[in-house]
Each structure stands twice: as structure tokens, then as C-alpha cells.
Amino acid sequence: MQVYNAPLRDMRFVMHELHNSAAHVAEIGQPDVTEELMDSILEEAGKFATDVLLPINASGDEEGCRLENGVVRTPKGFVEAYRKFCEAGWGALSSPVEYGGQGLPEVLGKMVEEMQCSANLSFGLYPGLTHGATLTLEGHGTEELKRRYLPKMIDGTWSGTMCLTEAHCGTDLGMMRSKASPQADGSYKINGAKIFISAGEHDLTENIVHLVLARMDGAPKGIKGVSMFLVPKFIPNDEGRPGARNGVTCTAIEHKMGLKASATTQLYFDDATGWLVGEAHKGMRAMFTMMNAERLSVGIQGLGVAETAYQSAAFYAKDRIQGRALSGARHPDRAADPIIVHPDVRRSLMTVRAYVEGCRALSGWVATSLDLESKASDPQRRQEAEDFTALMTPVVKALFTDLGFELSSMALQVYGGHGYIRDHGMEQLVRDARICMIYEGANGIQALDLVGRKMPAHMGRFLRQFFHPVQAFIEANAADPKVLPLAKSFAALQQATAHIATMSLKDPEEAGAAATDYLRLMGLVALGFMWAKAAKVAEAKLPEANGDAGFYKAKLTTAQFFADRLLPQTGALWSAIRAGKASMMELEEAAF
């Protein structure tokens, strides 16, 4: 049995106490979005996740999707759950008001998104892909396309996809073969085949809007010749309803390791009618609007799955009795003690808890920057927020999803053999978490993006948006010994940054060899910073906490665990980075 109840108290702590939601909403011009309003939305979202989405998670995995005469049927309960999802307006939470959205802050939207991922990741992909598609269309579509498509995508009547990958090219999209031929009416005929398309075909919505990368006739070779097109499953008629069926066919659904209730499809475009989104041959610019949004969302997916894994494992550890505590029987009236008394079980649970709460705090910081990037009145603040988001996007995507898989596996270990069988649902969480490390840019690509593009960009300007606040916090709290682990780890990060910058000028492979370790190093320092700040808040609140004393004490204890047991990994990562590429690259290809 999977256990999940939305961690509302910790979410409120992150939004209101750690990141000061009152000051934040004032800065983005939304002072009417009060703490009370946000809390009520979180509470209702938690109920929806636990009462509607969680009960169909395991059954959806068991049943999976099926393809019938070109139509994908989702598992039992998904159509009804999606109807309730749309009626409640969950998909429109942070979307623009002018197209029917609620325009609420991204920091709130990300918390709700985490709940959906925790309760039912397969379900969450359907509206999640649509949200990314609406952001792309909003940023790059013509007014006509936005007027015609955005309202129905935002209210959930229509859904969206991103069609990039082809059988012969994934990361290297310049190799794609899909073609777009211009027509006299300004539209294009799209021809080609795409694979691994999440939510590419399903029975939840009346129409599906595909954003497709293809190459125009006579386009430049490589990535500079790729354009983006909007290709609906049904072409809307004059009344805005689905009209003629377009030339888009689902030829197969992928048989996957996990996420079996999410339809991952192969699509064939045969003279399908599409419209250009953005500029000709600038499709990658439009694509990255959606890709960057999806990368942050995929990071939230890793966090969400890890939260459910933690809650489930903690519940089991308090219920399962095996052996006696090393210090003597804790429950002499029972045949054995619950396994939560054992240090190694505690190590596992504390590790998962510390990472999950740290990631939630970091996601809140990034989400506030998303708000500032689009809504702050001060142009400098908008630029700073954009720089910070750009820097942290690969970190959040890779770190959170690596941890999502690692922590789900660790939580499964708490169950012993019972975790490996299907009855408890833990093996599903491990299987579901694994793809998050791969799609929307495999995590090795995220690391290369960080060291190859984000780190040197504008003479290190992006880095300053992270380094400066960490440095300022350390200096302001220099007398506090609890901040010393963060200071040591931050020093290692600074040294590693300078080392990679110097070595990569001589040999670009040195940066590539260091990339994954550097991303983890930066991620750990970011989590350490969040925990150090969280501890300061908890310490200040504890004397007058009253009923919340237990929460703040747990926060302080978990912060200390992170500093003692997890943050020291930064030293080993810095040592690995210093070792360079030699032993990694020396073997001849034939020796592998």
C-alpha cells in the first residue's frame, strides 16, 4: 500500500517562513494572494491528490494503457479523475488570466504540482505536458494561434504535447528528418515520424495539440534549420470545436519499465496540417521555452515520488516488527520491536527525509524566481531572476531526479523483501522514478549544460545569482558553528568552479569529465544553504512555537543530519573533479 498525505505543514514553511510569501507576492504585484488563500488552495489540492489520484495510481500501473484502432485508452478511473481535475481548475492555477487561467504565483503552482506527482505521476504527465505547451505558445505563437488554442488548453478541454525525438536522433535534433512544406494559405504540411511522445494519444480530452519540430523545405542543415509547428489532432472549425481529423496517427505505444498509465506513443505525420510557431528556422528557441519549463517540472517529479516513498517507508518502519533495539527492548510487551528502532533503518529514513525537505525548499526558491522573472516591476530584478532560473534549471532537473530514483530505492530497502514484490507499491515508485533521469534531456546533458553553457555565460554572470547570496549568508553568520559545514562546502564549490574554468580552456574534455560531479557538488551546496536558512528560521520560531514545537525541533534535527551526514560528500566530489579526465578517457575504445 502506497502512503501519501500532502506535507502541508512543510509546504507552508517553505512558502511563508523560508521564502517570505508576503513580501514575495507584494513584489510581483499580487498582494491579494494572501497566506490564507494559498493555504486553502494547498489543502484542497492535498485532498484531491489523496482522495482522487492516489487510489488509481497502483491500479493504473497494473492495467496500463492500450491502443485500440488508433485510439489510446487510459486505465480505469483516469477519465473521471481528469474531468474532476479540470472542473476544479487545477490545470489553470498559474496560467495567464487573459486566456482563462487563475494567474496565481508559480511558487504555489509548484507545490500543487508536487502533490500530483507524489500521488500519481502517470496522471500528472497529461496536464503537465499541456502546461509546458501553453507556455511555449504564449511566448512564441501568433495572436491568432493563442486566441484559438490557449483557452481550451488552459481549461483542460484540449491537451498538448512536445514532439521532438525521432528514432535516429534524440539529443542531436539537428539530425531530424521530419519535413514541413509551405502551403498557399500560410499553413504547412508536416510529414515524418516521432517516438517517445508523452500523452501523444489518449482519451482524456477532445483534442490534442502537438508542438512539432520539423525542417522546412530548403532549410539550413543542422540545428539552425529546425522550426516549430502547431499540429492539432483535429483541426478546429469556425466555432472553435474539433473539426476535420488531421493527418496524425498513433502507430504504437511504448512498452516501458514504468509510468505505464501514461501513454508514451509513436506518432506518424502524413500531410498533417500545421502552423508555424515563432520564427522560421528558430524552432529551438521556442522549444527551449517548453523544455526549460518541463525540466523544472521533471525535477518536481523526482521530488514528488521521493516524498511518497518516504511516507510509505516511514509508515512501514513503524508498523513492521523484527528483532530488538541494540540498546535493549523498546517494546518488551511485543514479540519484537518495530524496525524503526534500528540505526540503519533510521539512516535510510533520515537520508530520504533530509533530501526531500531540502529539495522542496530549493524548488520554492527557484519558483519564486520564476515569478520574479515574469512579474517583477524592476527590470534588474527580472534579469537577476532570469539568470538564476537559467543556472538552476539543469541543477534542479538532474539533482532532483537522481535523488528521486536513489531515495525511492533506499526507501524500498526499508521493506526488505516486501518492497521487491508488488503488494506494497514500492517497486512501482522505483520504476516510475527511473525515467525522470532520462527524459527532457538526460542528466549527463544537464551537467554539460551547466559547465559548458551556464557556468561561463556572460563572464560568470549566472553564477553570481547563486554565489552571492550564499556568500552573504555565510559572512552574516560567521560566528555560528552550525554554518561551518556550509562554508567548507561552498569553498570547495568555489575552488571547483575556478579549476574547471581554467582546465576547460586547455582541454574541453576536462569540463566534460567533471560535469556530473560538479552538478552534484553545486546541488549539495544549494541544499546545504536551504537547510542552514531553514534552521535559522526554526531556531527563531521555536521559543514561541506552542503547538508547532515538534515541527521546528524536527526541522533542526534534520538540518543537523544533513550537515553531519550528507553535506560532507562535497569533499569527495571536489577530489574527484581534481583528478581530471586521465583515467576516464585513457582506455582505447576497443578495450571496452
- Catalogue the active-site residues: 440
- CA neighbor of 49 nearest in space, from 92, 104, 107, 88: 88
Q: What is the C-alpha to C-alpha distance for residues 102 and 160, in angstroms, rounded to an integer?
A: 19
Cell numbers describing residue 586:
585513457
Asked if residues 261 and 74 have their Cβ atoms less than 8 Å apart, the reply is yes
What's the N-to-C CA distance of the chain in angstroms? 43
Asked if residues 29 and 375 have their Cβ atoms less than 8 Å apart, the reply is yes
Cell numbers describing residue 104:
496565481
The amino acid sitting at 207 is N
- Radius of gyration of the chain measured on its C-alpha atoms: 24
Q: What is the C-alpha to C-alpha distance for residues 528 and 534, in angstroms, rounded to an integer?
A: 10
Q: Three-state secondary structure along 383-415?
A: HHHHHHHHHHHHHHHHHHHHHHHHHHHHHHHHC
Q: What is the C-alpha to C-alpha distance for residues 460 and 469, in angstroms, rounded to an integer?
A: 15
Q: Which residues have C-beta within 8 Å of that of residue 13, sequence separation ≥ 6?
A: 534, 537, 551, 555
Question: Which residue's entry shows cell 549568508?
Answer: 473
DSSP, collapsed to helix, strand or coil, labels residue 369 as: helix
Cell numbers describing residue 560:
543537523
Q: What is the C-alpha to C-alpha distance for residues 302 and 437, in angstroms, rounded to an integer?
A: 8
